[in-house]
Amino acid sequence: MAKERFEKPTGTQDVLPGAVEKWHVVEAKARDLCRRFNYREIRTPMFEHTELFERGVGETTDIVEGEMYTFKDKGDRDLALRPEGTAGVVRAYVQNKLYGEPDVSKLYYIGPMFRYERPQAGRYRQFHQFGIEAFGAVDPAIDAEVISLGYQFYKDLGLKEVRVELNSVGNAPSRAAYREKLLAFLRPMHDTLCKDCQRRMERNPLRVLDCKVDQDKFGDAPSILDSLDEECSMHFAKVKSHLDAMGVEYSINPRLVRGLDYYTHTAFEYKAAGIGTIDTVGGGGRYNGLVEEIGGPDQPGIGFGIGLERILLILENQGVELETVKPLDVYLVALGEAADLEITKQLFILRSQGISAERDYLGRKMKAQMKSADRLSARYTAILGEDELLDGVITVKTMATGEQRTIKLEELAQALAE
Ligand code: ATP
Ligand code: MG
C-alpha cells in the first residue's frame, strides 16, 4: 500500500465518529457539574503572548523550559499555543476586570492544550483539559469545593479508585523556611540526581520532589508540613474539615508540590492507575500571587486542570462503558420515484421537528436499505410504497419487536415522537 501523503502531526489524534460520542458524554458531564456548582464557562484564545505563560506558568517549569509551542507571527510577535488553561483565564479575568464583580468569579473551560512532549499513551502534544478557576476568595471552603468538583466529576463518569492527594505548599515565608531544610537534605545527594534535578536544585528545589526519575530517593525528605506557619496550618486544617464534611476522601502527600511555580497553600492531585507508569489524571491548587503577577489586583485564586484523554483511557482500561448511543430515530425507505420525493419531504419535516432521520442515497434495494437501518440502530423504519403514497399513509416498523402499523403521512412526526 502506498504511504499516505499526509499524516497527522506526531502526538495529535483524530477523534472519529464512534469515539467522539464518548467525548460528548465527558464534556456534557463536566458542563452539567459546573452548572450544579455554579461555575460559568469562559473561552479564551488558544494562543497568547508567550510572555504570559513565562510569567504565569513560572519560568522554571517543564512547560516553559521546553514544552511550549512558540512561534512568531507575521507582525513579529512572540506567541505560544496555550500549554495550560490557567494563565489565559487569569489574563482574561484581569483584562476584562472581572474582579470588579461583587461575587467570587467561578469559571470553567474545556479545550485543547499544546505541549511539545515525547508522545506515549496518556501523553500527547495536543490534549484536552477540563479546568475550573475560582477567584476572589481565600476561604478554605472554596479550596474544598474545587477539590470536590473534580472528585465528583470522576465519580459521575464512573471512574473507579480515584484518589485525592492533598498537601499544603504554604505561603512565601513557610516555603522559604522549607527551602533551606530541603536543600540541606538534597545537597549531599546532588551527584546522584538526574541532570534536571541538579539544575532545579538551585533555582527551585521544591520542584526536585516532582521529578519522575528520582521520586524514590526522597522518602526521607523533610515534610513541608513541618515548616508551615500558623496561617498556613490553619488554612490547611480548615480545607480538610470542609472535605471531611462532604465525605470527600483524600490522603496527605507532603511531597506533592506540583510542576507549576505559582501554587500557595493548597496543592492537590487526582490519581488513578491504568495507563502504564502515568497515574496522575488531574491536579490543581491555590495561586494567591498569580493574578497580581499577571498585572491584576491582589486577588487570590484556586483551580484545577483535568486531562480528558487520560480519563478516557482509564475508563476503557477499567471496562467502564459510557452511555453514549443515541440511535437514529427512524430510517425512511422509498419504493419508486414518486415515493422518493415524498420521502425527501417527510425526512425534512421529521428533522425540523427534532427527530433524527436518515434515508438511502446510493440507490440501494430495499433489503440493503433495511440492513443500513440496522447498522444505524434505527428505532423505526418507515416504508413508503406507491400504493401507500396514493392513500396518504406510511408503514412504520418498530425494529425491536418487528411490529408494524400504518400511519397517516401527516401524523408521522407525532407518532414517532411518542
Ligand atoms: P505530568 O506529570 O503527567 O507531565 P503535568 O504535571 O505536566 O502532568 P498538569 O500541568 O498538572 O500536568 O496538567 C493537568 C493534567 O493535564 C494532567 O494531570 C494530565 O491529565 C493532563 N496532561 C498534562 N500534560 C498532558 C499531555 N501531554 N497529554 C495528555 N494529558 C496531559
Ligand atoms: Mg508534564
Least-confidence region, from 18-22, 46-50, 62-66, 353-357 = 62-66
Ligand 1: distance of its center to the CA of 318 in Å?
20
Q: Please name which of 336, 215, 316 lies closest in space to residue 274, comparing C-alpha atoms.
A: 316
Q: What pLDDT, on the 0 to 100 scale, is given for residue 2?
A: 61
Probe ligand 1: pick from 113, 207, 260, max atoms within 8 Å of CB? 113
Strand 330-334 and strand 357-359: the pairing is parallel
pLDDT value, residue 59: 67
Residue range 193-237, pLDDT digits in tens: 888 888 888 788 888 888 878 878 888 899 999 999 999 999 999
Q: Could you give the CA distance from residue 321 to residue 228 in angstroms, rounded to a whole number?
A: 44
For ligand 1, pick from 127, 159, 207 the residue to mutate: most ligand atoms within 8 Å of CB.
Answer: 127
Span 365-390, average pLDDT: 95
Ligand nearest to the CA of 115: 1
Q: Is the pLDDT of residue 261 over 70?
A: no
Q: What is the model's pLDDT at position 282?
A: 96
Q: Given this model, what pLDDT does residue 60 score?
A: 67
Segment 277-284 shows an average pLDDT of 91
Pairing between β-strand 330-334 and β-strand 380-384 as defined by DSSP bridges: parallel
pLDDT band of residue 273 (cuts 50, 70, 90) is confident
Mean pLDDT of 290-306: 95
- 53 C-alpha to center of ligand 2: Å? 15
CA-closest candidate to residue 383, choices 400, 362, 360, 361: 360
Lowest mean pLDDT among 165-179, 254-268, 400-414: 254-268
- Mean pLDDT, residues 105-112 taken together: 98
Q: What is the pLDDT of residue 215?
A: 78
pLDDT of the residue at 1: 55
What does the pLDDT average to over 26-51? 98
Taking the CA of residue 115 as reference, the ligand 1 atom at the shortest distance is 27
Domains of the chain in start order, with CATH, are 20-171+229-317 (3.30.930.10), 330-417 (3.40.50.800)
Q: Convert the pLDDT of each residue in 13-24 to its tens digit.
A: 999 999 999 999
Residues contacting ligand 1 via CB (< 6 Å) = 84, 115, 117, 122-124, 127, 129, 259, 278, 280-283, 305, 307, 309-310
Half-sphere exposure of 3 (CA within 13 A, CB side): 3
pLDDT of residue 199: 84
pLDDT at 262 over 80: no
pTM for the full predicted model: 0.92
For the chain, the straight-line distance linking the first and the last C-alpha, in angstroms and rounded, comes to: 50
Average pLDDT, integer, range 343-370 = 96
Helices (H), 229-305: 230-246, 290-293
What is the structure's pLDDT at 318? Answer: 92
User: What single-letter DSSP state applies at residue 226?
Assistant: G
125 CA: nearest ligand 1 atom: 27
Q: Residue 333 has which C-alpha cell?
A: 425507505
Confidence tier at 260 by pLDDT (50, 70, 90): low
Please give the distance, rounded to the nearest whole angstrom, from the Cα atom of residue 10 to the centre of ligand 2.
17
Residue with cell 491536579: 283
